[in-house]
Structures are given as C-alpha cells and as structure tokens.
Structure 1
Amino acid sequence: MNTYFNYTLFTILLILNCSFSFAQNQEIVVRGSLVEEESNQPMPYATVAIYNASSKSIISGTTTDDFGKFETTIPNKDVYFEISFMGYETKTISTFSVADGTANLGTITLAPDSQALDEVVLTGEVSKTVFKLDKRVFNVGKDISSTGVSALEVLNNVPSVNVSIEGEVSLRGSGGVQILINGKPSILADQSGNALGTITADMIESIEVITNPSAKYEASGTSGILNIILKKEEKQGWNGSISANTGIPDNHSIGGSINRRTEKFNLFTQFGAGYRSLPRDNEAINYNLINDETVFSNGEEFRNETFFNITLGTDYHLNEYNVFTLSGNFAYEIEDQPSETNFSFFEGNNLISRWVREETTEATNPKWQYEFNWKKTFQNNEDHSFQLSALGSFFGKDQSSLFTDTTIEGEDQNSNQRTATEFQQADYTFKADYVNPINELFTIETGLQYVINDVGNDFEVEDLINGSYVINENLTNNFEWNQKVLGVYATGAYENDTWGLKLGLRIENTDLNTLLTNTNEANAQNFTNLFPSFHTSYKVSEGFSLQAGYSRRIFRPRLWDLNPFFNIRNNFNVRVGNPNLQPEFTDSYELTSIYKIGKASLSSSLYHRYTTDVVERVSYSEDNVVITRPENIGTNATIGFETNGKYSPTKWLTLTGDFNFNYFDRKGTFEDQIFDFTGNQWSTRLGSKIGFPADIDLELTGNYQSGFETVQGEQSGYAFLDLGLRKKIFKGKIVANLGIRDLFASRIDERFVTQPTFETYNYSLRGRFVTFGISYGFGKGEAMTYSGRRR
C-alpha cells in the first residue's frame, strides 16, 4: 500500500512542478535506458524523477519511451535521480559524470518489489465479492480449478449461482436468468447451444450478480441478471500472454492475448485454436403403466469440437473526454457428434426386441460479432458521461445427421432416418446511456435500448422407406422467430456516507412474431409493461450495513423454448418447444445484511419472489415415447434465505462458503392436472485456498445441490468436488496449472416423472475432466490461463 501511496504522491508532485524550466546556459543533457532485471526487457513508461540534492525537492522529471530510453536536461550537477515503476523497487542515482555537457547514465536495471508484488497477489489471487447499492460484484481471481474452463464453470463458482450438468444457469435455485456481456445482450450470452463455452475464465474481469436489478437494466430475467465483464488491458506498452493446454477427455488448445497501448490508442487482440471432446453417459427408462410396457435405453454421446477464433479491437482516445471503441470477433467451429444408444423393449418381463441406434452428426458453425462504442465524459466530473453503442452479431449452423437402427434381438426394429438443419441468427442492439452526478449526493441516469432478434431455422427429417429417403412432413418445417424490444428508463439516486436511496422506472415494449412457414402457423404478441425498482442501503457502522430492494421482472421465452422441432437423438425421449408460450412476470423483494468482523466477511439475505405464468417442462407419453415441452403452469411463491462468507485467518489460507435455502408454494393447473404443492431446495458451496512454499497453491471447492420436487416428479441431489494446483515460475512470468473438475465423477443428474399413466427416469453424467496448462506473460503482462475460445 505504501508503494501505491508514494507512487501517487510523486505523480502529483511531478505534475505540480512540470512547469518549471531551466536556463539554457546551465542545462546538462541526461540520457539512459531502463530494463527489467530478470528478463533484460526494456521498460517503457517508467518514471525518471529529478530532485535537488540540497533541498530534496522535486524539480523535474520524464518517462521512458517505448524502448525504455529517456532523455532530459538538468540545470547543474547538484541533483539526484529516482527511477521507479509500479511493482518494482525504486532506484536512486546520485553519482554520475558529465562530459561535453552530457551525462550518460547507461543501462539501468529495476528489480521487482517483492513486498509490493505480494500485496497485489494477496488481493488478486482469490475471487472475492464487493457489495454495491443495487448489485454484488464477483471479482474473478486466478482460481486454479478454473484453469482452461469456460464461463459456465466460472459461473458455477459465483455465490448464488448454480449451473446444471445441462448448462442451465439458475440464480438462487430459479431459472429465468438474463445474462449480459459488458452490460449488453450478446450472442455469447445465449444459453442455448452452449454459447457461453466461447468465453474462457481468463477473459473475465468480474461477474455482477444482480438479484434485484434497477430500472437501468433490461427487464428480462425473473430471477435476476448476471453481467459478465470482460478484461481489457490498461498497461501501456506491449503486453500479452501465450498459453497451451491439454486435458482428459481431449481438451487441447493454444491461445494468446496481445495488447499495445499508447497515449492515444489501445490495440488488442485475442486468438485461439484447439480441439475439445465432451462425452456424456445417458440412461432412460420409460414405463407405460396401462399396457405394462417398458423401454430401456442407455448409451454414450460425444460433442467433439475443433475451433478457431480471433478478436481484434481498438480504443481511440480522441482527447481526455472522448473515447471510441471498435471491435470484432470471428470464430469457426467444426462439430462431430457421434452417439450410440442401446434400446430394449419389454412387455411385462418378456423381452420383445433389442436394438442399437447410432448417430453420425456433422456441423459447421461460422460466427462473427462487431461493436462500436463512444463514451463521452464531461469536464466538471469524470462520472458525468454519455455512452452510445451499437452491437451486431451473426451465428449460423449447417448440420446434417444420420440415424441408423440395427436390430440385435427379437422383433425387427431396423430403420434409418436423417436430418438436415440450416440455422441463422442475427442480433442487433442499440443502446444509449446518460449519467449525471448533479452533486456529491444526487445522481440521475436515463437511457434507452432497442434489441432486434431475427432467427430462421429450416429443419428437415427424412425416413428410409423401401430404399429411398422420404420427407417426414410431421417433423419437417421452417421456423421463423423475430423479436423487437424497446426499453426506456430513468433512475434517481441519493447517497451519503451512511444512507442511500435509488428509485427507477423502466418501460418496455415487446413485439414478437413466430411463423411455421410450411404449415402457416403464426403467433404474434405485442405488449407494453412498466418495471419499477427501489433500492436503499444504510451503514450502521464500519462493520455492519443493511440493503433492501424491490424490482419487477419479465422472462420472455427464448428461441429454444419456442422452437417446436424435435431432437430425435433418442427417439423415445424427445424435447420440443412451444410457440404459444407466454412470458413470466416476477415481483422480487430482498433484505440483505453485510458484516465485516476482523478477517472475516459475511452477507445474509432474506428474499421473496412471486411469479405468474411460470414456465415449466411438462412431459406426456404417446406410444411409449415421452415428449417434454415447456408450458405456462400457474404461480410460484418463494421465500428464501442465503448467506455468503469469506475468512482469511492467515496469509496462506482463505476459506469461502455460501448457503442458499428456499421454500416454494406452487399453484396451477394444466389440462386435467392440478399442480398444487409445496417444497424446498437448498445448495451449499465450501472452498479453500492453501498457499505452500515455493509458490505452490492448492485449491479445493466442494458443492452440494439438494433434490427437490417438480410439477410432475422430482429432481435428485448431487455433490461434487473440484481441485486445482498451481506453480509459479520466475515470480509469475510462467504459470503451470493442474485442474480437476468433478474429482470423484459424482455430479450425476437424475430426474423422475411420476404420472397416473406413465413413469420416466433419466440419468446423465459428464464425468471427470482433467486439464493441464502452462502460460507465459510478456511485456508488463502477467501469465494467464488462456485455453482458447470455442466457436
């Protein structure tokens, strides 16, 4: 901390004295160059301060250029030099010789300041949570078990957040989460198609957990918002990192990040390439209670991906008040999805038939995204700002599948099917935000956002009949989905040293149209809603604060909730969308207390959510085929308690934990069924980070998710453990990481459906993942664990 204080104080003094000049007839030219002691690399933008030897006061100074060189003048020899760079030991030079009016200081080396570096490590290694008036900010540290993993795994380490084995994100046990990237909607945040797998842990700066969003944020997400903030290098000069990763199952990649920052420009790029395999074991049992018939199925499926990607962007500082950003990303993925499923069909205890269904699926996925952003700050206050942004993205999928059923025993089940998918999605977001701190206590914000989603999905199924493939008209169609959302908001906030209040109102208009072109089935919805918000906080003492909030939210059915196409990988257990789904609406209330006691911090929350037109997955059986589709099922009233804590008893040990419990009361009907019941669910996470000598760190994180009752059955609970090990080399310039996700392969997903006429059981297991990575940081950058970006 002293290093930062001294550095800041020196900078202020340097600015105050920079107007001094020396008489030309006394000037002595001083030259030199600066390099890092260990790597012998030039050190650009380091500070060279000149002090009067008698009075010890600063009289002038300069900085090194891009190559670590500097040149300045001094009035006479009665001076000394202090050369400094944040994170390095300051060097003082008081003895030098002058020849022909020139003093050559030669090559000067700076060594890392181990004390300052230790301070930085202690605050940055472990992920931590910061509380603000209307959100919690989870600053992503260098958690070892996250090495080489995607944003989904990082989210699973965030307090209040759970990610299922299927990649479904929930907040405090509820779905309907709106995920943003840098505060804006993005195709990268789409939960369908594993899009979050394109973001790797090292690319994330922080994750904002907003359980009661203010009116500033888009109203989507009945349980709240997760805003993923991506890193942007701010160090001047050349900075970057390269890395290589390998793993079991196959998880091989190379990647890199390069940044070049000057006074006016910040040029940045990220690139990656690799191959990844995601196996999964599945098992299903369908019981027909009327005919006493049973279909057993089990098998293994793979999602093999070869991916390439590159991101390019630049920030241009027109002046100190205007910054323009232009960036683009292109990615290309080649998918191979083989699967094999074994089926057995019984009547009572008699085996009627046994067969195997094999799948061969290939797909190519091109994707690109581009963004323009202009931020203007005003001279009276750096927080007084106007920001305008435009974001466009495209995702395409050209996929073909071949399914072959081969009879092994009993009745003939031989059949072939093939499918073809042509998918295109274009998204556009236009956003404007204005923030004005009227004074130190009052702030107003206003803005608008317009989002356009345009999707086409042409899906064709063919059956092999008499040696020829014939189109199955019942399963073939072209689905068009177009949604436009216009939102306008205004908020006002008052905040002093002990008390804060923020009020807001948002108005959103939704225009949604879906069309099945082959059958001309259309669904049009247009509605306008008001979304108020209220937040307040009170600081009782330095160690104890209270927060309270209210917001109204909406969950608009996503594309894959509406898309009616069947997934026929297992043609006895299929999922299908519902084009007629209506949105959910939620009123959310919350009271939070925050404690700081010595080296421990703790936050606890009581919350209540009331949701109408709840979207639930409902299953029904036809000819032993279980079809699951989303439906609007009544209301859900939830009361919950959550607590999060962190304790660092020593410098080498940090303990973290969180616990969430909620009680829910479900009421609703669907067709002839009544869904009135109560239940509860809870989850907990415990983590520890242990520092060993020789720069070795061990990390253990245990998770448990309880089982809970569903509208038609129950979901079982599971527990799993993640482990990470890291070794730093050359004081962090090189980092080696070993990560093991689900150490005991115990993260098992089991679902039961129990109905009067049928019962189903579904089992799924991803298994253990082991990754090893090594990275090297150059320039002023630090080594990072970059595993490449899929897609």
Structure 2
Amino acid sequence: MPQNSLLKYLTFTFLLLFTSLFAIGQVYKISGKVLSASENHAIPYATVVVYNNSKEIIGGGSTNESGFFKIQTEEVGSYIDLSFIGFEKQRINTGFDNQYELNLGTIKLKSTTQQLGEFEVQAEKSTTEFKLDKRVFNVGQDISSTGMSAMELLNNVPSVRVNIEGQISLRGNTGVQILINGKPSVLADEGGNALGTLTSDMIEKIEVITNPSAKYDAEGSSGIINIVLKKEEKKGLNGSISVNTGIPDNHSLGLSLNKRTNNFNLFTQMGVGYRSLPRFEENINRNISSNREISSDGTSYRNETFYNLTLGTDYYINDLNVITLSGNFAYEIEDQPSEYLFTDQDPENNSYAQWIRTENTSATNPKYQYDLQYKKEFKNSEDHTLLFSAQGNFFGKDLDSEFQNKTLVGSTQDAKQKSNSTFSQADYLFKLDYTNPITDHITLETGGQYTLNNVENDFEVSNFNGSEFVIDSNFTNNFDFNQRVLGVYTTSSFEKGLWGLMLGLRIEHTLLDTYLEQGDSTNHQNYTNLFPSIHSSYKISELFSIQAGYSRRIYRPRLWDLNPFLTIRNNFNIRTGNPQLLPEFSDSYEIGGIFIFPKVSLNASVYRLNTTQIIERVSRVENEIVYTSPYNIGTKESTGIEINAKANISNKISVSGDFNYGSFKRKGNFANQDFDFQANQWNARTITKIKLPQQLDLEFTLNYQSVVRNFQGHTIDYAHFDLGARKKFWGGKGVLNFAIRDLFASRIRQTIVRQGDNRLFSFSQRGTFLTLGFSYGFGKGEAMTYSGRRR
C-alpha cells in the first residue's frame, strides 16, 4: 500500500477510535466524603471500590486530601466498599432511583485500634530487591506511595531521577527506554504527559535494568525501565490538560485522555506549541607558525511550530489475550535564522578581512508512527506469555537554506550560496518473545527481532555567479543508507531462595549498504556477531543484596556518523560523516550492591568496559579550514565506580545524589600519528527537594562535569544550577510549575583541539531558560506537563 494511502487509512481508523471514546454508554456518578469517626478528620487517599449485582468491580478510585471522592461508572453500582489502613472496611448499598448522580454525603470510618489496647497496624511497605539482570521496586501500600503519579513514584526508585520538568534519567544518564508491561507504548513517551494517566495504585512494580541481558536488543543504551501494571486497572475516563509558556519562547497546549472499560482501553494525546532555541557560538582557528587567526562568533536560532496527535486502543479479547493498536502523527515547521561575524587577522588584531555571514533556513518535518501488538498469556501461569509486535516509523524533512556574505573590512568576501536537502527515513521493527516458567525455579525465554532502516538524502549546493545560482558539483550528491538486522536469542534462568543465575546468548546478523550517487561510491558490510550474557544475584540480608553481570554490546554508526554531507553554515569549520565507519563492540562487566535502610538507600557499582573499534572524531586543518570526521581508532579500556544515594532527612526534606568516576586508557594510531593516551573524568549531581506548607514543593539541582580529555585536546569543566517550584491545587488535580534551567548561564561547552601548528577553540552557550506551566487532571489522571517532542 502506498505511504499516502496507508497514512490516510491509519488516520481514518484512529479518528474513528477517537470519536468512539465518548460513545460507550451512559455514565453514572457517585460522590461523598470520608471522615474518621473518632476525630472527625478527613481521611485522604482512602480506597473506594464500586461493585455491580454480580459482585464484579465496575469502578473505583481514592479520596483526595480533603476526603472527597467522585467515581464514574458505566453501569449502575450495587454497593461500594471504603477502606484505609488502620480503619474498618465499610460497605454501603447504592440506589440511583432513575437518576445518574448519587451523593452519599459524609461517611465515617471506625479505627481498628479502638478498645484493643496496645495494637500495631503494619502496612505493606514498598521494597527494592535484586532479580538477576534487574532491580525490582515493588510498590506497596505505605503512605509515601499512596496517591502518587507514575512520575513521582519513579523518583522513589533507587538510581532513577525525575526532575521537576518530568525528564527521566538512570544513573545520571538520559535517553532511557521506558516500557509498559515489557513493551514499548506511546503512554511511555517522555515527550508528552501520557504517564500522568497512571497512578501508584495501578502499578505493581517497576523494573530497572542497567546492564541488559541477551533478551534485549544488543544496541547500546542508557538502560531500561519497565513499569508493570496491576491486572485490575482503573476504569473510567482519565486525562489531563496543560498550558505552558517560557522565556525564550516555549509555549504549548496539550490534552491527554484515557478511557478504560471492561474490554477496551482507549487513549489519545494531542498538542500544539511554539519554541525558540537560541545558541551563541564562537570558533577560533589560530596558526602558531603564520600568526594568522580566523574567528567567528554569533547567535543561531531554531524556531519550531509543532503539532502532535496520538491515538490508540488496547482491546482485551479475554483474560488471556490483548491486542494494542496505536499511532502518532507529528508535524514541525522550522525557521533557523543566524548571523555570524567572521574576522581574519594577526595576533596584534590587524584585520586582513572582516565580513558578516547571514543564514535563513526553513524546513518542514512530517512524522508518523504506528504500532500493532498482540500478547497472549497461558492458563498455567501469568508469566507464561507470547508477545508479538510490529512497529513502523517515518520521518521526512525538506530543508532550504540561503547564505550571504557582506564585507565590512579588507578584501572582498561577498558571496551568495544556497542549499537544499530532501531527507526521508523509514524504520520497521518486527519482534516475537516467548517466556515459559518450566518449574517454580527455572524459566526459559526465546525470541527474535528483525529491523529495517531505510534512508534517502539528496543534498544540493548552489553558488550565485552574479546573475543566477549554479549548482556546485563538489558539494552536491545523493546518499542512500539501508540497514537490516536479524537477531535471535535464548536465555535460561534459575532462582531459588536467596540466589539466582541467568545465562543468555543472542545472535545478530547485520547487512549495511550505503551508496553515494556522484562517484558511484558504495559501502557494503555483512557481519554476524554473538552477544553472550551472564547475570547473578544474591540476597545477603533484608538490608543488603549484591548483583553481578556481564554482557557484550554493539554500537552501530548512526546515519549522521556515516553521511558524508557537510554543512556550509560555517565554511571554516566543517563537520562530515564517514561512510566507511565500522561498529564499536563492548564487553561490559559490573558488580554492585544495594543497601536499603528506613530513611537512606544506597546503590554502588564497580564496572569495567572494554571497547574495540572505538569511534573518535578527528579534526584536521587544510588551508585554514577545519574538517572534523569520525574514524575507527584502536581500543579503549574503562574502569569506574558509580554511586547513587537518597536520604529522607525529614518528612519535608530529601536529598539525592549521583557520582560517577572513571579512568580510561586509549590505544591506537591513525594517519601515522600515535593516539595512545590515558585520562580520567568524573561527574556529580545533587537534588534537594523541600516540601513547604500549602502543597508547595521546591527543588534545587546542582550538576558538575569535570574536564574531558581526548587525544587531540580537551573539553573544559563546567557546573550549572537548576531550580524549580511546584504548587498543587484541589487535592493534586491542579498543578502550577515554575522552573529555571541553568540559572547562572554557566552550562558552557568549551573545547580546545591541538592539530599540528593549529590551535582550535570552540565555545557554545544556550543561556538561561524559564518555564511556567499549569495543568489539570481529571478522573484518575494526574496533572502533568506537556512539552512536545524533539527529534
């Protein structure tokens, strides 16, 4: 089916699903207020469950901080149960009498400690434990977890951090893959607010995987977080709406809806916005032999108007089979103006020439994706499953740029250039996973995955000769990139008592073809690799567990690593790709321990990473022009320690921190140059959260990155400070957020490169960003911020 026809068909299907969202029968509403019988105080977060005549659960929820609740159901409820830790459960019969709203008034629960003398009520506590290749955070019923959103709950998981703007990181690294029930989901898209429709009472556990086993794609990543939902998910209409603004321009409006019934879970998310991303840059190329220096400085902007629509549904065929169909369409309109001052001078500031180079760039970026998943559970065990998924993604870009030089001093530099780039990328993934717990202690897993990546990029540069633009054949070409990866795996695990062991093996076969039309240049790669893994864990005590693991990973060069096209934005500082790049391979060893105390959690790991065919960016200077390209150069051995800790100093103050120290040794040579060197680097972060009266939260984040060295130079260290404030209204349904990123504009990237007689200096700075947003959640939805998507 042609892509346009397929897009129209999917859009029609999803619009049909969306219009069905609100057409699933009459809604009945039950409300009331819950107080303690002894003290007449409101009971927040009490559980409210609605049953029908067949004693089936048809709805539910919890009270807010004032003790109020409001439940919606799609059929008449027969009775409700109200319960809370330390109180007797109370059952109330309902009767609507031909009306659709029922107010039960004030309901008082009796304490279970009355007339019992000395009696201790213990709630089920949230706990963290090691499970072979992952850490598992089991969500309990303690007060600290009750009523939390999924994002807030993630912030309680060791090694996981969620800042006040909703960005998730694992061990201090962003780019984490978020899964829902073991599979990708648009609900887990960090670019939107769909996670706000999940609350702690829907979540059974959260799994954290820092060193993935052979079951997972061998491609390197920052790690995996898997959110496992309870079987009995809350029904009804849930959602959130948000509006945001900021300086520089960062404005958006978002809506998220989620409708759950006995057989369907329909969800949608839509948003629109505009943002501006300025960046100041300075580059200096100094030749110490000729005493000549060419510099440029100026500000570039990336202004984006964006639209986004997500639609999808889960269809529960029965208790053992579920089908999920979802899709997303996004569209961006870009405008990228910039102006740079170029100066050609000697060390005494005597200018040979000076000119201004301006750029006007416009682009449109359409993107759509679709996802079909089928999951089957077997009757003998809920862990005995078969999961099939098929995903497709398309991204297009049509970019036009025009450049003009205007001479200010010295020799004439006047010139006009323009470029056009037409880019399209299509990615497809097909995956099958089978899990079978053969006995209570032994589990087998097997499966396969096939991915296809197809890219076409046509690039054209034209020069103005005084009367017309003429195509420059030296910088004009068509580039095709096609990659196919087939992987199969099997793992076997044994767990008994306090100890567990998992062995795994993955085989991946890769076919890669690139083609440059001009020059008829091709690059064909065909290779098969084995990726073994072994993981073990042992629980020494209730407070201390250890975990050890080994896995082999691969980093395949990305499109922009391979694409040889250059940018003419700065014709004295040019970056290009390298079509001949080979993949990196890494052997990862890790051993760690986790300590869990009442108010402090500590996770420490020691790791070793041996990498071959390291991809490094190398700069060279020709005729005062700096060219930077990636190459495979030798090996790298890294050893380090990583520590994550969180301390609840009081009920109002908590402090968490991440620390990573590593030393590495590089060996290799390139173009008759010795690239051997060794160095170390470290980074640290602390986050302080303070809860003030009137549901006001403050957050302070301090980040530090040490000097980072490579064989040609180094990047200077920097520190930056972020702060944020959050005010909740109406029992948490309304949230006002304010954040300042990089308060002192100190997140500065400064790089110094030495290459022969040349000294290269580059400087870039984003500056301070302020954001203000308000969001409102309804149903079981939590108020969360929608900020759009970045690509």
TM-score range, shorter chain: 0.7 to 0.9
Residue 161 of structure 1 aligns to a residue in which SS? coil
In the TM superposition, what whole-angstrom CA distance separates every residue of 1:416-440 from its partner, at most 9, and x where no partner exists?
Answer: 1101010000000000000111122
Residue 141 of structure 1 aligns to a residue in which SS? helix
Q: AA paired with 1:505?
A: L
Counterpart Cα distance in 2 of 1:328 and 1:729 = 33
1:364-375, aligned counterparts within 5 Å?
364-375=364-375
In the TM superposition, what whole-angstrom CA distance separates every residue of 1:696-744 from its partner, at most 9, and x where no partner exists?
Answer: 1111111111012112101111111111101111111111111111111
Do 1:88 and 1:110's aligned partners in 2 also have CA atoms closer than 8 Å? no
| Structure 2 equivalent of residue 275 of structure 1 | 274
Counterpart Cα distance in 1 of 2:31 and 2:374 = 36
Aligned: 1:141 with 2:152: yes
**Quick check: 128-137 or 255-264, which moved more?**
128-137
In the TM superposition, what whole-angstrom CA distance separates every residue of 1:170-226 from its partner, at most 9, and x where no partner exists?
Answer: xxxxxxxx967667799999xxxxxx98456957989976442210111112x7545
Counterpart Cα distance in 2 of 1:86 and 1:780 = 18
| Structure 1 equivalent of residue 323 of structure 2 | 324
| Structure 2 equivalent of residue 657 of structure 1 | 657
Aligned: 1:623 with 2:619: no
Counterpart Cα distance in 2 of 1:273 and 1:88 = 46
Aligned: 1:84 with 2:87: no
Q: AA paired with 1:507?
A: I
In the TM superposition, what whole-angstrom CA distance separates every residue of 1:665-721 from its partner, at most 9, and x where no partner exists?
Answer: 111101021011110000111111111111111111111110121121011111111
| Change in CA separation of 1:530 and 1:340 when aligned onto 2, cut-off 3 Å | same
Counterpart Cα distance in 2 of 1:98 and 1:453 = 57
Residue 152 of structure 2 aligns to a residue in which SS? coil
Counterpart Cα distance in 2 of 1:535 and 1:485 = 25
Counterpart Cα distance in 2 of 1:204 and 1:401 = 42
Do 1:306 and 1:333's aligned partners in 2 also have CA atoms closer than 8 Å? yes
Do 2:596 and 2:602's aligned partners in 1 also have CA atoms closer than 8 Å? yes
| Change in CA separation of 1:537 and 1:261 when aligned onto 2, cut-off 3 Å | same
| Change in CA separation of 1:594 and 1:87 when aligned onto 2, cut-off 3 Å | closer
| Structure 1 equivalent of residue 755 of structure 2 | 755
Aligned: 1:108 with 2:108: no
- TM-score, length of structure 1 as denominator length: 0.82
Counterpart Cα distance in 1 of 2:228 and 2:563 = 31
Residue 783 of structure 1 aligns to a residue in which SS? coil
Aligned: 1:158 with 2:170: yes
Counterpart Cα distance in 2 of 1:105 and 1:720 = 53
Q: CA deviation at 1:783?
A: 1.5
Counterpart Cα distance in 1 of 2:228 and 2:95 = 49
Counterpart Cα distance in 2 of 1:299 and 1:774 = 35
| Change in CA separation of 1:321 and 1:643 when aligned onto 2, cut-off 3 Å | same
Q: CA deviation at 1:476?
A: 0.9
Q: AA paired with 1:84?
A: L
Q: AA paired with 1:34?
A: I
In the TM superposition, what whole-angstrom CA distance separates every residue of 1:120-164 from its partner, at most 9, and x where no partner exists?
Answer: xx999xxx9875432357974287984556xxxx24x432416xx
Q: CA deviation at 1:258?
A: 0.4
| Change in CA separation of 1:202 and 1:230 when aligned onto 2, cut-off 3 Å | farther
| Structure 1 equivalent of residue 711 of structure 2 | 711
| Structure 2 equivalent of residue 480 of structure 1 | 480
Q: CA deviation at 1:49?
A: 9.1
| Change in CA separation of 1:112 and 1:438 when aligned onto 2, cut-off 3 Å | farther
| Structure 2 equivalent of residue 515 of structure 1 | 515
| Change in CA separation of 1:732 and 1:567 when aligned onto 2, cut-off 3 Å | same
Do 1:44 and 1:237's aligned partners in 2 also have CA atoms closer than 8 Å? no
Q: CA deviation at 1:68?
A: 4.6
Do 2:170 and 2:222's aligned partners in 1 also have CA atoms closer than 8 Å? no
Aligned: 1:47 with 2:53: no
| Change in CA separation of 1:111 and 1:690 when aligned onto 2, cut-off 3 Å | farther
| Change in CA separation of 1:353 and 1:263 when aligned onto 2, cut-off 3 Å | same
In the TM superposition, what whole-angstrom CA distance separates every residue of 1:239-261 from its partner, at most 9, and x where no partner exists?
Answer: 10101000111000000100110
| Change in CA separation of 1:64 and 1:240 when aligned onto 2, cut-off 3 Å | closer
Q: AA paired with 1:764?
A: S
| Change in CA separation of 1:417 and 1:384 when aligned onto 2, cut-off 3 Å | same
Do 1:423 and 1:457's aligned partners in 2 also have CA atoms closer than 8 Å? yes
1:238-637, aligned counterparts within 5 Å?
238-349=237-348, 350-637=350-637
Q: CA deviation at 1:90?
A: 8.7
Counterpart Cα distance in 1 of 2:101 and 2:423 = 65
Counterpart Cα distance in 1 of 2:391 and 2:151 = 25
Residue 561 of structure 2 aligns to a residue in which SS? helix
In the TM superposition, what whole-angstrom CA distance separates every residue of 1:6-36 from its partner, at most 9, and x where no partner exists?
Answer: xxxxxxxxxxxxxxxxxxxxxxxxxx96225
Counterpart Cα distance in 1 of 2:429 and 2:703 = 37
Residue 781 of structure 2 aligns to a residue in which SS? coil
| Change in CA separation of 1:135 and 1:485 when aligned onto 2, cut-off 3 Å | same
| Change in CA separation of 1:211 and 1:145 when aligned onto 2, cut-off 3 Å | closer
Aligned: 1:780 with 2:780: yes
In the TM superposition, what whole-angstrom CA distance separates every residue of 1:63-106 from its partner, at most 9, and x where no partner exists?
Answer: 56995587578xxxxxxx6543889999957899999xx99996
Do 2:186 and 2:326's aligned partners in 1 also have CA atoms closer than 8 Å? no
Counterpart Cα distance in 1 of 2:195 and 2:591 = 33
Counterpart Cα distance in 2 of 1:759 and 1:614 = 24
Q: CA deviation at 1:374?
A: 0.1
Counterpart Cα distance in 2 of 1:231 and 1:723 = 32
| Change in CA separation of 1:225 and 1:44 when aligned onto 2, cut-off 3 Å | closer
| Structure 1 equivalent of residue 687 of structure 2 | 687
| Change in CA separation of 1:502 and 1:236 when aligned onto 2, cut-off 3 Å | same
In the TM superposition, what whole-angstrom CA distance separates every residue of 1:386-410 from its partner, at most 9, and x where no partner exists?
Answer: 0000000100000100011111111
RMSD over equivalenced CA pairs, Å: 3.7
Counterpart Cα distance in 1 of 2:531 and 2:782 = 43
Residue 257 of structure 1 aligns to a residue in which SS? strand
Counterpart Cα distance in 2 of 1:675 and 1:420 = 37
In the TM superposition, what whole-angstrom CA distance separates every residue of 1:623-649 from its partner, at most 9, and x where no partner exists?
Answer: 111111100111101111111111113
Q: AA paired with 2:218?
A: A
Q: AA paired with 1:108?
A: L
Counterpart Cα distance in 2 of 1:482 and 1:47 = 54
Q: AA paired with 2:341?
A: N
Q: CA deviation at 1:787?
A: 2.7
Q: CA deviation at 1:468?
A: 1.7
Counterpart Cα distance in 2 of 1:769 and 1:614 = 35
Residue segments in structure 1 that go unaligned for 5+ positions in a row? 1-31, 51-58, 74-80, 163-168, 170-177, 190-195
Do 2:283 and 2:295's aligned partners in 1 also have CA atoms closer than 8 Å? yes
Counterpart Cα distance in 1 of 2:320 and 2:52 = 28
> What is the aligned length?
704
Counterpart Cα distance in 1 of 2:478 and 2:178 = 29
| Change in CA separation of 1:323 and 1:49 when aligned onto 2, cut-off 3 Å | closer
In the TM superposition, what whole-angstrom CA distance separates every residue of 1:323-369 from its partner, at most 9, and x where no partner exists?
Answer: 00000100000001111111100144321011111110000000000
Residue segments in structure 2 that go unaligned for 5+ positions in a row? 1-27, 35-45, 61-70, 112-120, 138-149, 156-160, 199-204
Do 1:204 and 1:228's aligned partners in 2 also have CA atoms closer than 8 Å? no
Residue 424 of structure 2 aligns to a residue in which SS? strand
Percentage of identical aligned residues = 49
Do 1:735 and 1:776's aligned partners in 2 also have CA atoms closer than 8 Å? yes
Residue 474 of structure 1 aligns to a residue in which SS? helix
Residue 744 of structure 1 aligns to a residue in which SS? coil
| Change in CA separation of 1:718 and 1:397 when aligned onto 2, cut-off 3 Å | same
**Quick check: 401-410 or 129-138, which moved more?**
129-138
